[in-house]
Structure 1
Amino acid sequence: MWTSYRGRLASILSMRRSAERVTVASVTVGKQLLSTVTTDDLPKLTTMNNGAKAIPTFTKSEMDRRISALRRHMEDQSIEGVLFTSMHNINYFSDFLYCQMGRAFGLVVTMDKVKCIAPLVDGGLPWRRVATGDTLLYTDWHKDNFWRGVQAELGATRGRIGVEMDHISADNLEKLKTAVLGAKPVDVGVPCMQMRMVKSKEEIALTKEGARIAQIGGAVFMDACDVGVSEYEVALRSTQAMVGEIAKAFPNVELMNTWSWCQTGATNTDCAHNANTSRKIKSGDIIVLNCFPMIAGYFSALERTLFMDHIPSDRHLELWDINCTVHRRGLELVRPGVRCCDVATELNELYRPHNLLQYRSFGYGHSFGVISTFYGREAGLELREDVETVLKPGMILSMEPMITIPIGTAGAGGYREHDLLVVTEDGNENLTRTFPLGSEQCVINRNKASI
């Protein structure tokens, strides 16, 4: 089918479009000469098994484990088929991390098949990267061809269809009901989030590598910091080091989405998500180091408070030391059997005597796995006062207390420490524990070696 489509595509490059109809003269399709081709003649669905299959991130047994867990849930809940649309679940269940660019993607799972539905603009990429099942491509030549693909794969299904209610829009829910007559959408977003929260041995091994690489980026970050150097220059050097190391350790993965943030000064450190700017580092600046290597969609992180040359006041030192005390206590609290809310409640009491509780801006940590700034979030595993999830071995989460002291207040700036933890049978393993922490190690002084 692709050979036929390629012949048509070559001709279409020179065609003139009208509002409703396209006509091309003397188009060769295969060995047949057509006098005219209209949009109605162009394919709605196709395939493109181009190139060699990529080496998967995980073993077949690991991917089979994930699909089997999903199918057990489907059987328990009488779900006939599932349509995933999010980047995180499609990646988790197929090993394919899509680039949306305004187009829809889907992963259909039934009891007897797994099929990725992707746009033709992605060419052979989905087929090469999908580690479970097969692929179906839809074209741009007709409106809602994605839903024609869904109909092709789920059209015979009757009854309950699993969707991610936290991702699919109301408009697309209606299109699903039109494509699959009699469909009764039910949520699988929350159950799948719960499946993802406990990591396999392979996922933990990958995250450990991510943590190792984050520390390489952190060391380059600290080395790059100097008076007069811009935030983006520090971040670029750190990111380059991490991408290079990912390429060595994982030669078969796509090198995408790894980044660093160099946040400096009282303003640019005031939140966890301030992007890099052209601001230049000054002597006495508070700096927050952020290193985020991404491997096959899996997120790892390292964050530290730093100061350039010196700590500008006793109040800055006091605030930094308090936050590090909270951080160290948090590391001790993460263990199996403990509720997320209880960790948050106890750490709150460490801030309260110092009148700092009001300067917290988010929870003390969150789950790791298939997440980034663009996708994912296992909200059921957050170290917040309203989350009652009980920690279990195999969960991966951060400990990252932060306080932000407003400009105009003594010690102004954001203070944040972040380590990456795997919950074990009797406590936790801190994957970033060897990186420098606190006022005795993280004052960068170019006149002598950093302490």
Structure 2
Amino acid sequence: MRLPPTFYPALHDRVRIALDRAGLDALLLDDPLDVAYLTGFAHFPNERPVAAWVPRDGEVLLLVPDLEREYALDQRAAARLVVYPEFPGERGPFTVLADAVAGAVRRVGHAPSTSTGRVAALAAAFPGVEPVTSDLVGRLRLRKTPEEITLHTEAARIADAMLAEGARLVAAATGPDDLPTETELAGHVTRFGTAMMYAEHDDVVVVPMLTGGLVYGGANSAQPHRLPTADRLRRGEPFMLSLGCAVGGRFVESERTFLLGEPTAEQRRYYQVVREAQETGTEALRPGVRCVDANRTCLDVIRRAGLARFLRHRQGHGIGLGFHEPPWVADGDETVLEPGMVLSSEPGLYVPGHAGYRISDTVLVTAAGPRRLTGYPRDLDDIVIGA
């Protein structure tokens, strides 16, 4: 459930090489996912800054408030802790960090997501330093190491089991009043996934969303990111389980649309078109293919079927320490796919007043082509319940 201790020194060496190439003396990152990536310290972000400092020469530092100190030690953070007493404090957190930094620094990189206020605090704490916006670590995060892929693969197994458990619960209902509500079903699969994780693993890495996802039925599922409601599932209608989990802080998503009862001709058509688009789009996730081209290949299946009016989003996105992160398998992203990238492949149709139809798998790009990490069945017969 955790990356091996050798992961972080090797990562820090790669960051230092990139710093040298970029002409930067150090990198200061305060995005919680970047901090977790660089040090293994996962935390709940708030107004108190937590930041990783990676110099071109010297040791990696982790700036934390005193109330997070023991937690960082418990997580075996791969950095020397620099602790400040409280925020805002008589001396700002970045001033405390500056006191701990050895050697002179002139150019310090920060992520594009760092707020202007924190960039200003950085400049004030390090007089004469030039803050430079850099996506250096973001680019490193695009390609997963074998150790990370092991965690993604285990997360995929658990996410698939959550889907199967959700389908089992619905299939076990004997009458209309026995069918779960969206919130009941969401709570059930979330508890199931978490219990499975703790039952089968020691030293679980806890992140803000360990297991969970979205559940919606009927017309509600035509709104792609709608939160679960108290509405009860109904026979004759589709319902969607959009689930995922994180193992060692590495996410996957596994999503299926289920048909509750014998499918109508309309339901069959919508599902089969999405099924073909997802198959075609997944096959396009190969090294050397641009994200924009994979997206077009996928969504053209839906357009050729005459259903373009029901498209609401791209084919997919990158997955890593977050559910949604670059690259974007979408129009406008010309990123060239490379081995080690982990992506969602999730085309969907959303018919207002009727339902949504989406199939999503987490896919690893390999030298030999795409490899699905999630594998819950996708054929029509596999997703019909109670026909």
Normalised TM-score (structure 1): 0.79
- Which residue among 181, 194, 197 is the counterpart of 2:127? 181
Superposed, which structure 2 residues align to 1:32-431 within 5 Å? 57-110=2-55, 111-140=57-86, 142-143=89-90, 145-154=92-101, 157-165=104-112, 167-188=113-134, 190-225=135-170, 226=173, 227=176, 228-256=179-207, 257=209, 258-267=211-220, 269-311=221-263, 313-372=264-323, 377-379=324-326, 381-407=327-353, 412-431=354-373
What is the CA distance between 1:107 and its match in structure 2? Answer: 0.8
Choose which of 376, 382, 385 in structure 2 pairs with 1:441.
382
Give the letter for the 2:352 counterpart. P
1:413 and 1:439 map into 2 onto residues whose CA distance is 16
Q: After TM superposition, give the deviation of residue 241 of structure 1 in Å.
A: 1.7
> Which protein has the larger Cα radius of gyration, Structure 1 or Structure 2?
1
SS in 2 for 1:366: strand
Are 2:215 and 2:240, in contact at CA under 8 Å, matched by a contact in 1?
yes
- Determine helix, strand or coil for the equivalent of 2:381: coil
Deviations 1:114-153 (A, max 9, x none): 1111122224001221431211222227256322323223
Structure 1: how far apart are the matches of 2:100 and 2:248? 27
Distance in 1 (CA, whole Å) between partners of 2:96 and 2:261 is 60
Question: For 2:204 and 2:83, how far apart are their aligned partners in 1?
Answer: 22
Q: Please, what is the CA RMSD of the aligned residues?
A: 1.9
Deviation of the 1:310 alpha carbon: 3.2
Amino acid at match of 1:217: M
Q: How far apart are 1:422 and its partner, in Å?
A: 1.1
The structure-2 alpha-carbon separation of the partners of 1:183 and 1:97, relative to structure 1 and needing over 3 Å to count, comes to same
Q: What's 1:38 paired with?
A: none
Q: Do 2:216 and 2:241's aligned partners in 1 also have CA atoms closer than 8 Å?
A: yes
The two structures have a TM-score, normalised by structure 2, of 0.92
Secondary structure of the structure 2 residue equivalent to 1:124: helix
**Distance in 1 separating the partners of 2:133 and 2:366:** 31
Bigger relative CO (Cα 8 Å, ≥ 6 apart): 2
User: Is 1:81–1:157's contact at 8 Å kept on the other side of the alignment?
Assistant: no
State the identity %: 23
Deviation at 1:87, TM superposition (A): 1.0
Displacement of 1:339 in angstroms is 1.4
Unaligned runs of at least 5 residues, structure 2: none
Query: Cα distance 1:130–1:148, how it changes in 2: closer, same or farther (>3 A)?
Result: farther
CA contact (8 A) 1:115 1:133 kept: yes
Map 1:18-37 → 2, pairs under 5 A: none
Deviation of 1:213 after TM superposition, in Å, equals 0.6
Between the aligned partners of 1:259 and 1:431, the Cα distance in structure 2 is 18
Question: By how many angstroms is 1:274 displaced?
Answer: 1.8
C-alpha deviation, 1:185, in angstroms: 0.9
Report the AA paired with residue 385 of structure 2. Answer: I
Letter in 2 for 1:126: A
- 2:245 touches 2:252 (CA, 8 Å); kept in 1? yes
Q: Supply the distance in 1 between the matched residues of 2:333 and 2:196 (Cα, whole angstroms).
A: 36
Q: Distance in 1 between matches of 2:240 and 2:90?
A: 47
Quote the Cα distance in structure 2 between the aligned partners of 1:162 and 1:106: 12
Equivalent position amino acid for 1:442 in 2: I
Structure 1, unaligned runs of 5 or more: 1-55
Between stretches 300-309 and 154-163, larger displacement belongs to 154-163
Contact 1:154 1:180 in 2 (8 A): no
